[in-house]
Structure 1
């Protein structure tokens, strides 16, 4: 049986999309069927055997599309394996140590009995949407802190769990 995985994401400036696509690519390379989609557009998760949900962190909150997606699909998500990730710190801290999930992500984890959560560094560059985001970039605090080798390693871990699972 081929495992069909959804990698849903909530993002404002697009950096979380890059992480979601990297995760899906690794899953495909490991023989799984994986697709990415904006969490705000998904209405039905029943075609998927497993789900990964990622959201950007903004002022200590998980992206609203990711939060709403989990809340809206909680029952169905609770019936399949789910992993969560956050994207956000604009420094190398996420690659240097484990960053615990923010309270909203903790609630989402409990709601769907998620297998695990990981926080990856974020990316905020010139052209970012929002006054605060533009100020961060203007003050030299932006940059790309996504650690793709670490993201790919985590995706391999997810793939390993799915391929070892008994159908």
Structure 2
């Protein structure tokens, strides 16, 4: 059994919910899982495998997820690392792949993280603040565009890869 950290950073709970589903799938495969807000993670040393997810806001990762990566580069280089982000909303959101922001892409390359996965997001008009998000929430971008089966399939793939990893 491998202990996996699933850390998330979001604003309105949608990314946390994705992290919880990822954690459920990993547990179902026999892994111990610690699901935590990225802001509450100071050190990854106790985890042989790490999943970090962030909500995308204006094509940017949440600062707490970026800090987690920045502060743990050396340790993450020695671990299996998967990254995901959520955020595209509207028709076809489940088919969209969004590239990592440049600073996060450099971090991902430096720790040799697996290719980042993009999941559709959730835009709930009742939760948004600010003029631009409210305007977006009124149109076709409002709603829940997370593909739960795709998220579960990805999480199971991560779990199988953690299980099959052989340390040299």
TM value normalised by structure 2: 0.91
* Alignment length (residue pairs): 166
CA drift at 1:94: 4.2
Contact residue 62 and residue 104 of structure 1 kept, 8 A:
no
Residues 11-57 of structure 1: CA distance to partner in whole angstroms, max 9, x if unpaired? 01110001100101000000111121010111111111110000000
Whether 1:7 aligns to 2:6 is yes
| Number of the residue aligned with 1:42 | 41
Whether 1:156 aligns to 2:146 is no
Residues 96-127 of structure 1: CA distance to partner in whole angstroms, max 9, x if unpaired? 25443332331221131102210000001033
Contact residue 94 and residue 119 of structure 1 kept, 8 A:
no
Flag structure 1 segments of 5+ consecutive residues without an equivalent: none
**Aligned pair in 2 of structure 1 residues 87, 116: CA closer, same or farther (>3 Å)?**
same
Whether 1:107 aligns to 2:113 is no
Flag structure 2 segments of 5+ consecutive residues without an equivalent: none
What CA distance in whole angstroms lies between the structure 1 residues aligned with 2:157 and 2:93?
A: 17
Contact residue 82 and residue 113 of structure 2 kept, 8 A:
yes
Superposed structure 1 runs of 4+ greater than 4 Å apart = none
Q: In angstroms, what is the RMSD of aligned CA positions?
A: 1.6
What CA distance in whole angstroms lies between the structure 1 residues aligned with 2:121 and 2:53?
A: 12
